[in-house]
């Protein structure tokens, strides 16, 4: 049996909406409103492309509309009037509810990896992050294991409560926070970053985030108040060692020379 193009389009739309609003939430979690809107609009646009991609299907699709607008039959005339009244009303109703808004606060723009400053003032001491391609304790290779062990202790005394035993951001307190504590095992967090970046985030915590990361009520404390420089490097070494990620090392082309790459 051959489906009419209208039925096909409608089915496609319904299936898409079903996937976006039922299947995805059922399998994982609901899609935020804005993205959902984008998905539906894209689907509508694609359906338009589909029906109009050949003259034949476009004719088939548009002829009832043309009939509705132009035909002078006994059926179409009243129908036309009804449509002309109902459609604007529906639009008006939709836009008025949309413009009225709800009681929920608007969505926030979150920037996951904000830009680090070029230097930080750590406990009164100026550290230029660019000049620290790798953690300074890595130079002390003989004692690296010791440092990592120390980092482990520091982690369990301080970080464990939120970031968890498995370093997956699922500690005891994690459920209470928005944003959730970072998952170090994921490929999108510390695996993408350099050690000096981690140092900055740990030392300055949530309050030290730049403006583009707001609104941000990150509960991450300012660890420079509690930890020494060396301790922070140790805990960083522990994180990389335990997750098995390699810190990103920037091949800095600035300064003199450059080019030739």
Partner 1 sequence: MLTFLKVLAFNGLVVLFFWYVGNSIPQQRKDPPKESDLTADMAPESFVAAGEEIFYGKGTCALCHTIGEKGERCPNLAGIGELAGARVQEASYQGDASSGPEYMVESLHNPAVYVVDGYQPTMPAMGRQLNDLEMVAVVAFLQSLGGEVTVTGETRFPKYRGEGDAAVAEAPAAGAAPAAVAAAGGTGQELAAQWGCIACHSLDAPVRLVGPSLWDIGSRQDESFIRESILKPDAVIAEGFPPSLMKLTLDGTGFYQKLAIQDLNTLVDYLASLKGGG
Partner 2 sequence: MRRYRVNNAQEQAAKRRSLALMFLVGLLLLGVCAEIVQAVEVPLPTKEDMVYGDFPVVGRRVAVWVIAQLHLMFGAFVVGVPLFILIIEILGAATKNQHYDDLAHEFTRLLSVAFSTTAIFGGILVFFLIGLYPTFMNFLASIFFPSMVVYVFLFFGESFSMYLYYFGWDVLKGTSRSVGTVIGTTALSVLVLYPGLLLLLALPSLFMGGGWAVSFPVSFGLAGVLFIALLAHGLRPGKSSFVQSRKWMHICFGILLNYFGLILMMISNSWATFMTSPSGINLDTGMFQGTTWDAMRNFTWMPVNLHRFIANIAFGGSVVAAYAAFRFLSSARNSPERAHYDWMGYIGNFIALIGLIPLPFAGYWLGREIYGYDQQLGITMMGGIFSWLFILQAVLIGALFLGANYYLWLGMERIPGSERYRKFTPVMLGVLTVCFLVWLTPHSLVASLEEARRMGGAHHPMLGVFGVMSAKNTVVNLMILTTFLSFLLYRRGNKGERLPFAQQSGASKVTLMIVAALGIVLMWQLNAPLADPALMTGLLLLWGFETLAVVAAVALTLNDRGTLGQGLLFAMSALVVVFYGIYGYYVEAIVRIGFSILQVSSVLLVLLVATTIDIVIFRGAPLVGAINWGRIPERAQYVLFLLATSFTWLMGLMGYARSGLRTHWHIFNVMRDYSSDAFTPTLGYACGVISIIVLVFMLLVSFIFWLAHMGSLGHAQEEAVLHGAPSPVLQPGGGAD
Q: How far is the CB of 150 from partner 2 (least distance, A)?
A: 25
Which does residue 121 touch among partner 2, partner 1, none (CB within 5 to 8 A, set by kind)? partner 1
Using the minimum distance from each CB to partner 1, give the nearer residue, 72 or 125.
Answer: 125
Report the alpha-carbon distance of residue 197 to residue 180 in Å, rounded: 19
Contact 163, 181 (CB under 8 A): yes
Binding residues for partner 2, rule: CB under 8 A, are 24, 27-35, 38-39, 42-43, 45-46, 49-50, 52-55, 58, 104-116, 118, 130, 178-180, 187-188, 191-192, 194, 197, 212, 245-246, 248, 250-261
Binding residues for partner 1, rule: CB under 8 A, are 34, 106-109, 117, 121-126, 157-158, 161, 207, 211-212, 221-222, 224-230
Using the minimum distance from each CB to partner 1, give the nearer residue, 64 or 107.
Answer: 107
Which does residue 124 touch among partner 2, partner 1, none (CB within 5 to 8 A, set by kind)? partner 1
Q: How far is the CB of 157 from partner 1 (least distance, A)?
A: 5
User: Which residues are CB-neighbours of 30 under 8 A, at least 6 positions away?
Assistant: 21, 24
Which does residue 197 touch among partner 2, partner 1, none (CB within 5 to 8 A, set by kind)? partner 2
Report the alpha-carbon distance of residue 252 to residue 224 in Å, rounded: 27
Cis peptide preceding 32, ω within 30 of 0: no
Report the alpha-carbon distance of residue 23 to residue 33 in Å, rounded: 16
In what helix (H) or strand (E) does residue 234 lie, and over which residues does it extend?
helix 229-243
Q: How far is the CB of 30 from partner 1 (least distance, A)?
A: 19
Q: Bridge partners of 119?
A: 128
211 by Cβ neighbours in 10 Å (0-12 / 13-18 / 19+) ranks as exposed
Task: Please give the DSSP secondary-structure letter assigned to residue 236.
Answer: H
Kindly report the backbone phi and psi dihedral angles of residue 57, in degrees, each rounded to the nearest multiple of 5, phi listed first.
-70, -30
Using the minimum distance from each CB to partner 2, give the nearer residue, 25 or 92.
Answer: 25
Which does residue 2 touch among partner 1, partner 2, none (CB within 5 to 8 A, set by kind)? none
Q: How far is the CB of 39 from partner 2 (least distance, A)?
A: 6
């Amino acid at each position: 049996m051959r489906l009419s193009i209208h039925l096909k389009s409608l089915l496609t739309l319904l299936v898409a909406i079903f996937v976006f609003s039922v299947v995805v939430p059922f399998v994982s979690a609901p899609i935020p409103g804005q993205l959902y809107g984008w998905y539906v609009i894209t689907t509508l646009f694609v359906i338009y492309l589909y029906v109009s991609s050949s003259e034949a299907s476009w004719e088939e699709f548009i002829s009832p509309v043309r009939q509705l607008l132009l035909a002078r039959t006994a059926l179409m005339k009243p129908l036309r009037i009804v449509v002309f009244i109902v459609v604007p009303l529906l639009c008006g109703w939709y836009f008025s509810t949309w413009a009225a808004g709800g009681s929920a606060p608007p969505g926030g723009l979150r920037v996951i990896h904000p830009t680090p400053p070029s230097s930080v003032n750590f406990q009164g001491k100026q550290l230029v992050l660019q000049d620290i391609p790798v953690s300074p304790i890595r130079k002390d290779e003989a004692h690296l294991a010791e440092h990592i062990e120390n980092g482990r202790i520091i982690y369990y005394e301080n970080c464990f409560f939120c970031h968890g035993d498995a370093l997956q951001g699922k500690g005891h307190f994690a459920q209470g926070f928005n944003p959730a504590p970072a998952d170090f095992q994921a490929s999108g967090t510390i695996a993408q970053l350099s050690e000096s970046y981690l140092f900055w985030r740990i030392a300055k915590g949530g309050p030290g985030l730049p403006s583009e990361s707001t609104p941000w009520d990150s509960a991450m404390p300012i660890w420079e108040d509690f930890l020494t420089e060396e301790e922070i490097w140790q805990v960083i070494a522990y994180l990389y060692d335990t997750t098995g990620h390699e810190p990103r090392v920037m091949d800095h082309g600035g300064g003199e020379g450059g080019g030739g790459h």
